[in-house]
A and B are shown apart, each in its own frame.
Chain A
Amino acid sequence: KAGVTQTPRYLIKTRGQQVTLSCSPISGHRSVSWYQQTPGQGLQFLFEYFSETQRNKGNFPGRFSGRQFSNSRSEMNVSTLELGDSALYLCASTMTGGKNNSPLHFGNGTRLTVT
């Protein structure tokens, strides 16, 4: 079974631009969540989608948005990029979300650099 796939792997953008990151979950997984990880920081939760609906949201500004498609693939968008948005963005999938004891399966992330 293929793992969680995130594209692109690396991205360099300029301040003020916008960016879209993509995540394909493991087949059969309906929950997709997004995390931001900056050097020396723990994972910061962005949002979770389940069956095309945003189920949970972290404390990030409205510049960060996401969506999920009917095939469970998800995208996240960051508008008006700031230098502080430079980070590793991780996507994780699971069958039903945190409601059971199933582990999160992570992709290897998209490394975003904002200059």
Chain B
Amino acid sequence: KNQVEQSPQSLIILEGKNCTLQCNYTVSPFSNLRWYKQDTGRGPVSLTIMTFSENTKSNGRYTATLDADTKQSSLHITASQLSDSASYICVVSLMDSNYQLIWGAGTKLIIKP
């Protein structure tokens, strides 16, 4: 069964600290992996998209890694800010005829001052 699992479910850290969110997937055939940030009550916003051949990709203070062999991805946030408080969602695209997307349940991150 095609699944995307994220951990932890929620995380609280102090402003200025770093953190890493995890994403494990059992999706095949794999096309690409995406990370989205969703603020409360708003639509998700794309952070990164990585294909099979990409191991790491950065977007400002956000760095995503992908290990296609172990089917794991991580999102590392450096020097967290209060505005980083949001849900972070991992999404994997299937390389099927419709390129359907398999969504994780997200990690809720809270940054405390």
Contact = CB atoms under 8 A, between A and B. Distances in A.
Asked if chains A and B come from one complex, the reply is: yes
Interface of A: 4, 40-45, 48, 55-56, 88, 90, 92, 97-99, 101, 103-109, 111
B98 A90 contact: no
30 contacts: A41-B105, A42-B89, A42-B103, A42-B104, A42-B106, A43-B44, A43-B103, A44-B103, A45-B101, A48-B98, A55-B98, A56-B98, A56-B100, A90-B43, A90-B44, A98-B93, A98-B101, A99-B99, A101-B49, A101-B51, A103-B34, A103-B46, A103-B49, A104-B46, A104-B101, A105-B46, A108-B41, A108-B43, A109-B41, A109-B42
Contacts of A101: 32, 49, 51
A45 B43 contact: no
Contacts of B49: 101, 103
B67 to A, nearest CB: 19
Contact of B99 (A98, A103, A111): A98
Given A97-B99, A99-B99, A43 B89 contact: yes
Contacts of A41: 105
> Which 3 A-B pairs give the minimum distances between C-beta atoms?
A106-B43, A98-B99, A103-B46
Given A43-B89, A55-B98, A106 B103 contact: no
Contacts, number: 52
B82 interface: no
A97 B31 CA distance: 13
A41 to B, nearest CB: 7
Nearest to B42: A108
With most chain B CB atoms within 10 A of its CB, the pick from A40, A98, A104, A109 is A98
Given A41-B105, A56-B100, A101-B51, 15 more contacts: A4-B43, A44-B103, A45-B100, A45-B101, A55-B98, A88-B41, A90-B43, A98-B31, A98-B101, A99-B99, A103-B34, A103-B49, A104-B44, A108-B42, A109-B42
A24 to B, nearest CB: 13
B43 A98 contact: no
B28 to A, nearest CB: 16
